[in-house]
Amino acid sequence: MTDVTIKTLAAERQTSVERLVQQFADAGIRKSADDSVSAQEKQTLIDHLNQKNSGPDKLTLQRKTRSTLNIPGTGGKSKSVQIEVRKKRTFVKRDPQEAERLAAEEQAQREAEEQARREAEESAKREAQQKAEREAAEQAKREAAEQAKREAAEKDKVSNQQDDMTKNAQAEKARREQEAAELKRKAEEEARRKLEEEARRVAEEARRMAEENKWTDNAEPTEDSSDYHVTTSQHARQAEDESDREVEGGRGRGRNAKAARPKKGNKHAESKADREEARAAVRGGKGGKRKGSSLQQGFQKPAQAVNRDVVIGETITVGELANKMAVKGSQVIKAMMKLGAMATINQVIDQETAQLVAEEMGHKVILRRENELEEAVMSDRDTGAAAEPRAPVVTIMVTLTTVKPLCWTTFVQRKWPLAKRAALPSTLVHTTLKLKTA
């Protein structure tokens, strides 16, 4: 391509020579109006102009919206108003270099923010840890102080309790001693009062009996006092008379020594018995001693409870358990009620319940089972001896009329050929048979 002049190029581009020279100057090429322009310089100018005139890519969007709005007017009529809404939005395509630069800046900003956030979190963690350590140390100090206070308070409380217990024990001891002294004094007063009442009663009875004896001696002068008997038995009367003679033998009183005779149909038996008891009381008050009657009951209540060995089976009734413990059935029922069980006198209870009740009442329990003998026999059979085989024992139970014609004759012929064939041998007890086994 041949070179062209500035004027020719200005005519082609439809611009003035001065403007074209200025454009070459902007592109870095110094030219005058008479200079020529090579193809390379021309291309450089075109690239410069294109780069200068080219801006960022833009996309413009326009939107128009029309609507009608009814507005109420005067007189009840509405008025329609046309509304037009226009929207315009332009999208600009950034330069790649600019976009990269902005992206790099955004990335750097995000990294800086992330770094700042991490540093803030680490700082917050360090502060929180330090704060937790300080709080833990303070809490430990507070707990130690509180523990010391509690221990001191506990020691004071224990000391106060011990002092209170000592004071209470002393007060309780003094109260018990005072109560014991009061009870002793009351018991002495009660015993003295009973002795005085007994003395007055004996004196009154003696006076009354003296009057009765006076009237009796006047009314029945021939009747001897030895004829008053408590019972109608002849042997008992003789024993009473002998006792009276031994007591009054050394006093010199004129008493008829004749033997006691049984009196039939005595109408004053009860009154005579009363007078006899009163006379015995008078004799005792005067210093005399009277032997007790041979008919007097000698039972004395035991001083303490009797513990027995109670044999209890697998089942037993409440009444049977009471009989074995020699107590009333009501006491057994009360003991069961204390243990939380309700039962009647004829109700059957198990062995465990009976054992608890008997032990609660202070008795020794011996448990028995129904098959105890069988278990003892079965336990004794395992002696550890060596077992040896023996012949089986076979028992044949048949009537005589059946045995004789069926098997007995054949058995005797084979075993005892010389035995009697008509009757059973009296010497036969058992026999051993040898059997052949396959």
- Answer yes or no: is 332 within a domain: yes
Q: What is the CATH number of the domain that holds 41?
A: 3.30.56
Domain that holds residue 402: 398-438
- Answer yes or no: is 234 within a domain: no
Q: Give, in order, the Cα–Cα distances in Å from 419 to each of 209, 396, 410, 433.
A: 100, 20, 12, 18
102 and 138 together in one domain: yes
At residue 287, the pLDDT reads: 46
At residue 333, the pLDDT reads: 92
- Answer yes or no: is 85 within a domain: no
408 and 351 together in one domain: no
Strand 4-5 to strand 36-37: parallel, antiparallel, or no bridges (unpaired)? antiparallel
What is the C-alpha to C-alpha distance for residues 164 and 298, in angstroms, rounded to an integer? Answer: 55
- Answer yes or no: is 69 within a domain: no
At residue 301, the pLDDT reads: 56
**90 and 58 in contact (C-beta within 8 Å)?**
yes
> How many domains does the chain fold into?
4
Q: What is the CATH number of the domain that holds 337?
A: 1.10.10
**0.85 exceeded by pTM:** no
Q: Give, in order, the Cα–Cα distances in Å from 240 to each of 255, 296, 344, 394, 415.
A: 14, 12, 49, 77, 86
First-to-last C-alpha distance (Å) of the chain: 139
Domain-ending residue, one of 136, 163, 187 = 187
Closest to 87 in 3D by CA, of 65, 69, 66, 68: 65
407 and 358 together in one domain: no
- Answer yes or no: is 79 within a domain: no
342 and 411 together in one domain: no
At residue 404, the pLDDT reads: 53
- Answer yes or no: is 237 within a domain: no
At residue 350, the pLDDT reads: 92
- Answer yes or no: is 354 within a domain: yes
pLDDT (tens place) for every residue of the chain, 438 residues total: 467 788 888 888 788 888 888 888 888 888 887 888 888 888 888 887 777 665 556 778 888 888 888 888 777 778 888 888 888 888 776 667 777 888 888 889 889 999 998 999 998 899 988 999 999 999 999 999 999 998 988 888 888 888 888 888 888 888 888 888 888 888 888 888 888 888 888 888 888 877 776 655 554 444 444 455 555 556 566 766 776 776 666 554 444 444 444 444 444 444 555 555 555 555 544 444 444 444 455 555 555 667 888 999 888 999 999 999 999 999 999 999 988 888 899 999 999 999 999 999 889 999 888 777 787 777 777 667 777 888 777 666 656 565 555 566 665 566 555 444 444 444 444 555 555 554
Query: Within its chain, how far is the Cα of 52 from the centroid?
Result: 100
103 and 177 together in one domain: yes
Triad 242, 233, 292: Cα angle to 5°: 45
173 and 109 together in one domain: yes
133 and 183 together in one domain: yes
101 and 150 together in one domain: yes
362 and 404 together in one domain: no
349 and 428 together in one domain: no
- Answer yes or no: is 299 within a domain: no
